[in-house]
Homo-oligomer: A and B are copies of this chain.
Amino acid sequence: MRKLTVAAAQLGPIQKAESREVVVKRMLALLDDARGKGADLVVYPELALTTFFPRWYMTDQTEVDTWFESEMPNAATQPLFDAAAKANIALSIGYAELTPDGHHFNTQILTDKTGKIVGKYRKVHLPGHVEFDTERAFQHLEKRYFEPGDLGFPVFRALGGIFGMMVCNDRRWPESYRVMGLQGVEMIVLGYNTPSVNSQKSVEGPEQRLFHNRLSVQAGAYQNSTFVVAVAKAGDEDGHPLIGGSLIVDPNGVILAEAKTEGDELLVATVDLDDTKFGKDTIFDFKRHRRIEHYGRITSQTGVVLPPE
């Protein structure tokens, strides 16, 4: 029995004009709620400290860099780290990372219960595009502002278990889960900012977007026999709606908790990390069942190679 109480701290919208300090106050309120419910770990969404700025087209790198954090913790987030350490709660937070040598990543970190950063992940699967796209209803410029993550999909021993992280679009890619599954991951935490409408297909609205969110997370959990905690930034940011639908999913792919609002909302579940064992030892006992001799294309080719005509 390895009990853990995990909280998904969904954030409602953050307007472009709102400061990190205002957001951190909301994060502190969610932390306080989580403390009252006995949480060991609180997970915040992707780019938790600001609006989802990749929807804004910018050409001035100095302006772009104002959306990034060059230290973590920093002045704005130190109160959150301090409060979590005082409450003996671990954190996972997404933010835009600017490294000392000038690299830009879409990053998620994991701390232990003392506020020490014990894991870092940099988003591998960047969606969207690099240049202004006149064909889209709105812009999604992650490929412009970020480099693809350079850390792979590492896992970390923390809180008595094996943890992994991913960010937003990573959750649609079975490769993300599988690389961590092959390292025995027991809980994957992730954040997302997902527009409620497909920028390239206006009939694809929130119902289908929420369905794809659930489907991807539930399948990744089941197929790797791991818990997954998926946390949204939700609601209307300056006229741009984002889905909510934060989820805590068990190793059978079953939803334990799901957000009901598009605002700040806390989901809490107490789980037993040992519940990951049955699936890993039976139907998804990789060692007995995987056949890597037939998987070669997955790592040898990036794009589609069509069969001969």
Contact = CB atoms under 8 A, between A and B. Distances in A.
A290 interface: yes
Interface string A153-169: 11111000010000001
A196 to B, nearest CB: 15
A212 to B, nearest CB: 6
Nearest to A204: B252
A5 interface: no
Number of copies: 2
B299 A211 contact: no
A127 B290 contact: no
B216 A212 contact: no
B307 A182 contact: no
Contacts of A270: none
Size bracket, chain A contacts: 35 or more
Interface of A: 124-127, 148-149, 152-157, 162, 169, 172-175, 178-179, 181-184, 198, 200-201, 208, 211-212, 215-216, 218-219, 222-223, 252-254, 278, 280, 282-292, 294-307, 309
A215 B253 CA distance: 8
Given A169-B289, A212-B222, A287-B302, 11 more contacts: A124-B294, A127-B283, A149-B294, A157-B309, A174-B174, A174-B175, A178-B298, A183-B297, A211-B254, A219-B219, A286-B302
A157 B307 contact: yes
B297 A295 contact: no
A6 to B, nearest CB: 20
B127 A304 contact: no
19 contacts: A124-B291, A124-B294, A126-B289, A152-B294, A154-B307, A162-B306, A169-B283, A169-B289, A172-B284, A181-B304, A182-B297, A182-B305, A184-B304, A215-B253, A216-B222, A219-B223, A287-B304, A288-B303, A292-B300
